[in-house]
Amino acid sequence: AMVATSVFAVLGLVFVVRQAEAMLAQRSVQALSRTGFLSPARSFGKRVRRRAPVKASAGEIGDEVRVRFAPSPTGSLHVGGARTALFNWLMARGSGGKFIIRIEDTDQARSTKESEESMLDDLRWLKLDWDEGPGVGGDYGPYRQSERGEIYQEMAQKLLESGHAYPCFCTEEELEAKRQEAEEKGEAVMYDGTWRDADPAEVEKKLAAGEPHTIRFKVPSGAKVSIDDIVRGVVTWDAEATVGDFILLRSNGVPVYNFCVAVDDALMKITHVVRAEEHLTNTLRQGLILEALGIPMPRYAHCSLILGEDRSKLSKRHGATSVDQFRRQGFLREAMINYLAALGWNDGTDQEVYSVEEVTEAFSLGRVVKAPSMFDMAKLKWVNGQHLRSV
């Protein structure tokens, strides 16, 4: 009787342990599903959206997602830029993260306040509200690059002191001569490092004399930059063979685009950079700068271009291409969100008409495709018609 009692006790204990393990496993699956690392299975007799994993975390699961849309205010908000803003906004809203607007206006010759206001007005019409940026503020401002000059000077000084940058006293004439010589020899046009390892005494002498100079980044020998792009997969560059020591600050002290972007993404704690594929090559320089500053690179997602119906890059010659033009033509905001989201993304179902709430729930960077998307005006009109019927 005692043996039987002991056996039943052991069996009971095993049952309790297994029940506990099953409950723990179920909770783990639920937790992973919430993070997007597991996709829901398809139920019999009921269509359930199958979503790809977002691959979203730049750090530990649970880190706050921080994404940004960073337009240059040199014209109207193009539908390509609007789609980039939308993808970032959807990622932030779908993850409980932050959507940041940063104005990249270092090109003062082309940037205008009117263009900035026009772009922001278009975003407001689309109701792509931002958590930090112009008119809102935030902990990591200013949010216009033209107002962040001291920050860039500070970071350039930091790179100089750590040996990752150096003053270059080459004149424009000297650089042009080097460029022509390289082209004549059929060689890649890259800076030859004339001042890379210059005598410190000579450098100090020129600095003391106030001679004009740029600040160049010192590309490490044998350096490679590799990213696991959420859209394009693994991309690797041989930095030394691809770029020479590139400029960070021009001779007038104005910072170059890639330096500003790298510094801003770092200091604004951006976790994911979602942008057009034309910026893919910029990632090399930005990655080198971030590594030199000792700051982890964000996750990248480079989205393919939007093409016109003739398969060339969408431009004004294809007709309306700006958000404001479509707004003036009477297109609904909901239809624009629906159509722009579908340019390069789908949720794995046959659904074509979505509410903004449905898109926000279903969106995943893991389902953004590599192939370019064609802007189909007839399809946009059809989508707009579907939304008009539901008003």
In eight-state DSSP terms, residue 198 is -
- What is Dmax (Cα atoms) for the chain? 102
138 phi-psi bin (left φ>0, alpha ψ -120 to 50, beta other): left
Q: Pick the catalytic residue from 313, 316, 370, 381.
A: 316
71's CB contacts (< 8 A; 6+ apart) are: 77, 81, 85, 103, 104, 119
What residues are paired with 272 via a beta bridge?
Answer: 67, 299
Which residue in 69, 107, 119 sits closest to 91, CA to CA? 69
C-alpha span between 34 and 370 (Å, rounded): 26
**What single-letter amino acid sits at 321?**
T
**How is residue 381 written in tokens?**
């009109």
> Cα(142)–Cα(30) distance, rounded to whole angstroms?
40
d(CA 302, CA 274): 6
Query: Looking at the DSSP assignment, which residues form a beta bridge with residue 340?
Result: none
316 is catalytic: yes
The per-residue DSSP string of 249-296 comes to E-TTSPBPHHHHHHHHHHHTT--EEEEEGGGTTHHHHHHHHHHHHT-P
Q: Which of 294, 267, 323 is nearest to 119 (CA)?
A: 323
Residues forming the active site: 316
